[in-house]
Amino acid sequence: MRTKSIWRALEELPTGTGTAADWQHFVGNAWPAWQRGFLEQRETPASHYHCARQCGCAHRIVHHDDGRIVAACECDPWNCDTFELTAADIVDFEFKRQRLARALGRAFDLERRERELGLPGTQQVATFAAMAVPVVLTIQQERYEFEQVVAQLAARWREGFILFAPTSRFVDGGVHELLAHARGQFCDLETHVRLQPDGTLRAPTRAGELFAQFVTRRDQPGTESEARRVFGTLQKLRSKFVGIKAPPYDVFMLVVMEGRSQRETAIKCDCSLALISLRVKELEREFQRSVAKLRALASDLAELRTTVKGDELRKRNQGARADQFERPEDGGEADPDGAPEEEYGYEAGDYET
């Protein structure tokens, strides 16, 4: 279902409210899905109605004593005939920005983190990748307002952010320059998401591909000693809570080392999202660091883990070779390579990084 006109509606209805006729002027056949996904019926009826002749005005709704409801033209000079309406015609529908924010997070499988930023029509909706790159949604009606928001975001996050907006019509050379200086990336909704009949959004391109610059970039997350301290705690955690649902060690490997979202982790662990959220809080208390900071150490932790596994493998090989010569009375033929079978697979609870 194509949605180009829908997103333009958000930039041209300054109040974010309108009757079914107002919204249908933009969304057409997508109206049922748009209403289901992002609109909420208001208790107060509309005061104006979209002009059927598209003269550019909104007709004033007048309630007569006999119960009739009419839409009267307010053009000067008068331009259109007055026409009658029903009570259903004047129901007002309000756009809910929070619903769109959450739908975007689900469509791109982002880590949910909603936060008001003190900027008009703008909020952080999520984070992306191991570096917890801020993902922001802004809806503006004027070019200069859009540019001011981008400037404020660029000053706040100089190490990069992702900015969603309904369309790209306010993006010009000045905005591109601001984004480039802050390592920001712009993404317009009319190009990168599709509205589904059930009111959800689908992203044809996965976030990892669309925002590849943030996947490959590796900042300096911390000192080697910090990574070693975290790794030591992780090794101790591995032997704890064995046999419970979604062990903290497994959750750490999925959420921190693989950078998976809590939703993905819940599916992997075959448990509820609430349980994974609880495990994440437990991990943050155990390591005294947020998940974002732990993810920043993921590369260093992977290197340490590889080194430890190599040391363990060498010790096992050496032990196997010694055992081969020290216990000939077993009568069995020794493995010529001296390598135990389990060496070639991952141990229980281990995930490839």
Spatial CB neighbours of 335, under 8 Å, sequence gap ≥ 6: 320, 324
97-216: CATH architecture? 3-Layer(aba) Sandwich (3.40)
**Of the listed ranges 26-40, 266-280, 313-327, the one predicted with least confidence:** 313-327
pLDDT digits (tens, 9 = 90+) for 300-338: 788 787 777 666 666 666 665 545 444 444 444 444 444
Q: CA 237, CA 286: separation in Å to the nearest integer? A: 9
* Backbone dihedral region for residue 78 (phi beyond 0: left; psi -120 to 50: alpha; all else: beta): beta
**0.75 surpassed by pTM:** no
Fill in the amino acid letter for 109.
Answer: D
Percent of the chain with pLDDT over 70: 80
d(CA 312, CA 122): 51
pLDDT digits (tens, 9 = 90+) for 88-131: 888 999 999 999 999 999 999 898 889 999 999 999 999 987 67
Domain boundaries defined on the chain? 4-95, 97-216, 221-353
Lowest average pLDDT, out of 2-16, 25-39, 172-186, 332-346, goes to 332-346
In this structure, of 47-51, 84-88, 140-144, the range with the lowest mean pLDDT score is 47-51
Burial class (CB in 10 A: 0-12, 13-18, 19+), 5: middle
Q: Is the pLDDT of residue 221 over 50?
A: no
How confident is the model over 121-171, as pLDDT tens digits?
999 999 987 678 999 999 999 999 999 999 999 999 888 999 999 999 999
Q: Which amino acid is at 84?
A: E
